[in-house]
A and B are shown apart, each in its own frame.
Chain A
């Protein structure tokens, strides 16, 4: 067995001076990539809480409609009545049909009928405006709808 015993030899040192650079690149990647919000939300968004949600994993099918009172900075011009936000701009209920068409046009053909409209609605909004939105969606034949909510913590 003695022939397997190695003579003490100094292990060559691995040069780790470039390791911080690699890690920093990773770090910067994560810092940059995790900015997830693509649109600047101009309306108030305090979502209601619920328990019976499903995870929405098919992101490419989702189109967002934001509803809420205009944010504080915009309230001087626009008042406090709830408004819709489609993409980056405030809009009215009548603009939904056009918005749906535009969103469908962005999708590949086979997905167009599967479009899911995600409603992000502030909890102080009245149901009336949501009803109007739903009628517009039905007219545009976008029938799959999801109310985005946050998880309620059970007491």
Chain B
């Protein structure tokens, strides 16, 4: 059956490399080796005794409460999340000017309290805004002093100087338990 003596035609494989290269580059570009990003917090060590209640009329404490219906309250006043950052920044950076806000950034404490029924989305939103307030202030101070944002500083003494100017002091109180229906 098979014809003998006839040379089979050679397939030109030189473009194969190009095709494979294209595929390779496609995979290289599209696969992200996922580095997770997150908001890092440090928890206080566990104690059996409950922490002392936060003095809410103290001028150095900004009380931020979220209820089980995801409503935000700052210093007893209902507030929108998008206003939170400006208020927090003013509170931290008050330096004694407004009598209802903090004496200095070092003394300012943001007291954040949720409810067991608050949604995680809202919780992260609010926490993110509080963090953003501090990061904004640090960036501003850093740009003023060293001419670049805080994240770009390399020198440890400079980093620590900015950190000392605006120490992040967000305290999380035990959430209330009014609206935990359904856990």
In the complex, which of the residues A23, A123, A135, A144 contacts B20, with contact meaning CB atoms closer than 8 Å? Answer: A23
Whether B53 sits at the interface, judged by CB under 8 Å, is no
User: Is chain B's binding surface mostly helix, strand, loop or mixed?
Assistant: mixed
Q: A81-B183, A143-B45, A149-B37 are in contact. Are A131 and B17 (CB under 8 A)?
A: no
Contact size class for B?
Answer: 35 or more
Whether B121 sits at the interface, judged by CB under 8 Å, is yes
In the complex, which of the residues B39, B44, B119, B180 contacts A146, with contact meaning CB atoms closer than 8 Å? Answer: B39
> In this complex, which of B27, B37, B44, B182 has the most chain A Cβ atoms within 10 angstroms of its Cβ?
B37
Is A23 a contact partner of B38 (Cβ separation < 8 A)? Answer: no
Interfacial residues, chain B to chain A (CB-CB below 8 A):
13-14, 16-17, 19-21, 23-24, 27-28, 31, 33-46, 114-121, 123-125, 127-128, 131-132, 135, 174-175, 177, 180, 182-183
A-B contact pairs, 20 of them (CB 8 A): A19-B16, A20-B20, A27-B20, A27-B27, A30-B24, A51-B132, A53-B38, A53-B39, A56-B40, A57-B35, A128-B183, A130-B120, A138-B44, A138-B46, A141-B45, A144-B40, A144-B43, A148-B38, A149-B38, A149-B39
